[in-house]
Structure formats: C-alpha cells, structure tokens
Amino acid sequence: MQTTTVIDSPATEHAHAHGHTGHHHTETFLSKYIFSLDHKTIGKQFLIMGMIWAVIGGLMSVIFRIQLGWPDETFPILEKMFAAWYTDGKLNPEAYYMMVTMHGTIMVFFVLTASLSGTFANILIPLQIGARDMASPLMNALSFWLFFTASVVMFGSIFLPTGAASAGWTIYPPLSALPQTSPGSGDGMTWWLISMVLFVASTLLGGLNYVSTVLNMRTKGMSMFKMPLTVWALFFTAIIGILSFPVLVSAVVLLIFDRSLGTSFYLSNIVIGGQALPYAGGSPILFQHLFWFLGHPEVYIVILPAMGMVSEILAIHSRKPIFGYKAMIFSILGITVLGFIVWAHHMFMTGMNPFLGSVFTLFTLLIAIPSAVKVFNWLTTLWRGNIKINPPSMFAIGFVSMFISGGLTGIWLGNSTVDIQLHDTYFVIAHFHIVMGIAAFFGMFAGVYHWFPRMFGRMMNETMAYIHFAITFVGSYLIFWPMHFLGLAGVPRRYYTFNEFEAFAHYGTLNKVISIAAIIVFLGQLIFLVNFFWSIKRGRKSTQNPWQANTLEWTSPIEGIHGNWEGDLPEVHRWPYDYSRDPNSDVDFIPQTVPLTEEEKKDKIHH
C-alpha cells in the first residue's frame, strides 16, 4: 500500500505536497553539514560550537586562576602566547578583568544557554515526541546562525586594541556605560551589546520553535502527559527564554542610548577625575533590576534542561519508573513561575528598598520547595533500583550531588540578612558555580554520553569516560569547596590579587590548591573531547536501543535519516517510564509504542 511521495518539511504549505513522486534531493557537503535544516544536524552544530566555546571559556579561567594562585610569579611562556595581555610575564589587570568578564559571558550565554538547550532541544524534542522535524526548520537554522554570528562578534571583540568588555558578565553601569571608566568599556562593550542582541534574536527563534513544536507536532497518542521529562524541561526552558530575554533587550537598548545618545537612564551624579558629568535623574539600580529580571530566569534556563535529562537518565539506568512524574512536571512549572519573581535577591546590597528585599527573600526561599521535590524524586528513583553503572548514570548521579551541594548554599544566600556578609565574596562564586555551572555541565555530559549513540550511531569509550568523570567530580569539589571558606572569611570576588591585603594574604596556599585543581579539571575535559571525536570515527557500533530505553528516539533508525522515521510515524500508547513493570518478564522495559495489555487498560494508573 505504500506509495513514495515527498512531503515538504512541516513548515511549508500543504498544497506543495501534491504530486511529487520519487524526487531525490541531492545533498552537497554544504547543505548536509553546514546549512542543514535537519534538526539533528543543527543540534550537533550547537554541540560542537558549545565545545569550542567551553574550551575558550575554560582556558580563560585557567589564565586568571594562574594569576590568583601565583600572584608573585612571572610567566614568560604565557607572555609569548598571549603577548597583548602580559607585561613582564605578569597578567595585566585590565586583561584580568577582561578574562573574568569573557569567561562569565561565554560560559553562561554561549555554552550553558545556547549550546545546552540548543543541542538537546534540537535533537530530542522532535525525536522524543515523534515529529519529522521542528515546526520551522528554517527558523531553527537561522537560530543557529544568529548564535554563530553573535559568538563571532563576541570573539572578535577580544582582539580589539582596547580589549573586550571588562565590566563583569553582568555589565553594570556606570562602569559599562562610560567609556572613560575602563578600556573595556569602549568598543569592546559596544561589540558585547551587539553580540547580545543577536544572541537574544537567536534564543527567541529557537524558543518559539521549540514551544510550537511541542504544542503542535506530537505524534498520535503522545498527549502532553505522556511526554518524557526531558521534553517537559526543554519546553519550560524555551518558555522562560521567550519571556525573559526580551527584558535584556530593553536593558541593553537603554544602555546603548546612555552610551551613544547622552541619555541618563542609568546615570546620575557622576564625577570622574573631578569633572561632574551632565547626567541626571537616572539610576544604575534600574539596570540591575532589568538585568536580573532576565538574569535570574536565565539560571533556570541553564539548569532545567540538565534536570530534565538527568530525570530521564536516572530512570533508565536505575531500571525504575521515575518517582513522581507529575510532581516533577509541576515542580518544573513552580520553578519557572518562581524564577520570574525573585530577581532582586541578587541586589540586596545595592541600596535597594529593604522592605522590598524582605519580600524577595520570601519568594526566593519558596524555590527551595520545588527544588527539594525534584531532589527527593531523584533519590527515590535511585532507591533500590537496579542501578546500571555507566558514564551517563555516573554523571547523572554526580549532577544530583552537585545540585544538592550548591542548592543548599543558595538558601543561605537567599536570606537578605545572611547576604550582607556573603555578598560579592567567594561564597557566591562557589554557590553558583556548583549549582548552575558544574551541575549543568554534569547534566550536559550525562546527556552527551547517553544520547551519543543516538547522534552518531556509536558508543563512547567507557574507560576514558570514567577517567573524565573521576577528574571532573573530584576536581570540581576541590576547586569550589574551599571557596566557601574563603567567602565566609570575607574574601571578595573579582579582585586581581590578595597580596596587598593583610587579612587575605594568608589564603595564598588555598588559592594555589584551587588553581592547581582548576588546571587539572580543565585538562581532564580534553579527555572528553578526545573521546568524543575519536568515538565519532572509531567508537564501538551501537545497537538500535543500547540503553534499553522506552522513549521514541530509540525507535528511529540509529543512522539518522531525514524525517526521522521510515514510513508512518510511531504511535504512542503509554508513558515513557514503564521499567521493571513485570517482575516475571525477561525484558524490564516496555517502549512507548507497545499497546496496552487488557489488564493494563483496567488498571488506570498511568493513562
């Protein structure tokens, strides 16, 4: 009964579907790998770009960690490599601030926002909901290329004569608004702002696509409450992006006006070098409010995809249904909603209205509830499970560990009274690096190890993966755990050196330990890169369903074809977590495409 027809990608009009038969689309290298409209290829493009950026961002952290660990030493070899940033073998203070700023910007926006959800939303959403592609493949490709352009602009700014932006990744005015305040606030800042507007456009195109794909393109039987938690998490991530990034655009546009048109949105009562500037009536705190209205939801954009993937991976590798499927969904929803109303907890020490601060403290502490629901659900999913030890499950468990360690200190920092002591110290650095940096990376690694066979048809090398895991897990704690103590002692963040301060000088050894650990962890990531690229070519061939998972992506041909499925789309009959359902059966998983048995139809638990 099957006839060969060609239908356009879903975004084109249906009328085009008439009457094309047997047409073969020829593909060149450019159309297949570079300007591809296929969601799987675009996902891989995001992943590779993310890796490049992670290496660059990580290298920057190594450079400033060397400065912090050995502030008195000179490094002629580094001066040879980065001549523009070193004088007499020592890192210039301006270059140090540039490194810190670029490390934050690159890691937060390009790696953990664009690349994390870009990779997995693109690859997993259509495959897991049973769609041929995204709602609009063209917009999807545009999203990647805008991200690419944005990142090229950002990278280019590093080579400007005055250097890249150096006002911190939060680019607070007046430092970022007035070019005379620091070299990086000149052209580098302008390029930063241009790059960020392009980046927001990219996020928006991607996010709109993900949302409408999830809402409209699900295959037969795939109701919203039969979707895997990965898709739910990516769905809410996209919604957060759609609602929060436009506010960054507003903040950036007003900052551009302040910089170029002489307006005073964020500026007032400023004297530089004895000269009073004619700005009046604005407030730098206004920028902080606007920035953090994006900035706080942003951290959930970073962590939610990791949470979703970890939920999925933990259930699969402990061969148990996820504990509290709906509780997971509603806690994602709760985190999404609460994430939008707590932004000013980043600003307790700015001189904002203290009464407002107490309201924000209340809302902030409420986030502990959905977060704890998720943590306990992961733990209870693992509880008495038939846990398979393999790279994805190790990284997923590592994620849970990191999320707990970093999340608990969040409760400290959310209290405005405690924050008075801890604000802008290394305690904050430790908190957010563990909870949204390392944890999100662990989720990302778990995802890459788990879906690598789906992406490339081969398995990654396990030995290298275990070494990678051990170095990353132990090393990350070695970097960030001591920082809590530095922070409690009041050591401030973003300082170029602590030698000058009697109170902090005796932490020199601790700083050395942190720096050594940072360098080792950075080198450890190279093992992952080698493993990744080696396995693409040489890895063991994967079977169709290597993890014995239930979700739809493992029913689609593993070599990856346009349109994802030959013939009809699969039909979904059950939720994605039927693991170890029948103790007497040899097979401990029931894919979503298997129809319900008669007994199951009577038992209405999961339908």
346 and 605 Cβ atoms separated by less than 8 Å: no
Whether residue 496 contacts residue 72, with contact meaning beta carbons closer than 8 Å, is answered with: no
Sign (positive or negative) of CA dihedral 569, 574, 575, 576: negative
Amino acid at 237: T
Q: Which is nearer to another protein, 391 or 570 (CB)?
A: 570
CB of 17 to another protein, least distance (A): 7
Query: Tell me, what amino acid is at 402?
Result: M
Quote the least distance from Cβ 509 to another protein, whole Å: 43
State the nearest-atom distance from the C-beta of 33 to another protein, in Å. 13
Closest distance of CB 210 from another protein, Å:
10
- Residue ranges of alpha helices (H) inside 161-283 are 187-216, 229-260
Q: Which is nearer to another protein, 559 or 599 (CB)?
A: 559
**Contact yes or no for 30/45 (Cβ under 8 A):** no
Query: In the complex with another protein, which residue's Cβ is closer, 207 or 524?
Result: 207
Q: How far is CA 459 from the centre of its chain?
A: 24
CA pseudo-torsion sign 280, 281, 285, 289: negative
Q: How far is the CB of 335 from another protein (least distance, A)?
A: 14
Q: Find the helix or strand (DSSP H, E) in which 87 lies.
A: strand 86-87
Residue closer to another protein by CB (options 260, 584) is 260
Structural contact between residues 303 and 439, judged by C-beta atoms closer than 8 angstroms: yes
Least separation in angstroms between residue 413's CB and another protein is 19
Which residue lies nearer to another protein by CB, 60 or 121?
121
Q: What is the DSSP string of 508-534?
A: HHHHHHHHHHHHHHHHHHHHHHHHHHH
Which residue's CB is nearer to another protein, number 10 or number 490? 10
- CB of 178 or CB of 400, closer to another protein: 178
**C-beta of 290 vs 517, nearer to another protein:** 290
Whole-number Å distance between alpha carbons of 540 and 538: 7
Of 8, 297, 40, 12, nearest to 144 by C-alpha is: 40
Whole-number minimum distance, CB 54 to another protein, in Å?
Answer: 28
User: Contact at 8 Å (CB) between 166 and 94?
Assistant: yes
Residue pointed to by tokens 């957010």: 432
Reported as type and span, the H/E element at residue 96 is helix 93-105
Q: Where are the alpha helices (DSSP H) in 345-390?
A: 354-366, 368-382
Q: Which is nearer to another protein, 76 or 278 (CB)?
A: 278
Q: Is 293 helix (H, G, I), strand (E, B) or coil?
A: helix
What is the nearest approach in angstroms of another protein to the Cβ of residue 15? 5
Closest approach, Cβ 37 to another protein, in A, equals 4
